[in-house]
Amino acid sequence: MHLTLYYAPVSCSLVTYITLTEAGANFSVRPLNFGRGEHYNPEFLRINPRHRVPVLLIDDQPLLETLAIQLWAARQNICSRTTGLRGNVSPVAVGSLIISLRGCVFLLVLSPRPAVWRRR
């Protein structure tokens, strides 16, 4: 199974990227720069005419929206190592996981950087 994730690092699609990365999933990444309008690129519009991220291509078949991708990953046991979710997972369980992860992402983005992260 070949997985390709289209996402924008400054959007909520980062949750999907973090989940797949932490789960150790084998996937390729196609980041899109919204500032340059890469989400309007004809190649991407063929995949998702709504020009939104995240999009997970599963053997070249697109799966759209964070919740749908999280549910699919949980049902495929891709996320079981890091989340404890496996098998027939309820949307409520995945929804609460997404809310938790979004909170973590926003805390990372909004919190002041330690001095060691700052450029000199």
pLDDT digits (tens, 9 = 90+) for 16-73: 888 888 777 899 999 999 999 999 999 999 999 999 999 999 999 999 988 888 888 8
> Stretch 65-84: mean pLDDT, rounded?
72
pTM for the structure as a whole: 0.67
> Stretch 64-93: mean pLDDT, rounded?
67
Q: Is 28 a catalytic residue?
A: no
Active-site hit among 11, 13, 90, 96: 11
Flag whether pLDDT at 90 surpasses 80: no
Q: Would you say domain 3-117 falls under CATH 3.40.30.10? A: yes
Looking at per-residue confidence, does 86 or 55 come out higher? 55
A 10 A CB-CB count for 30 gives 15
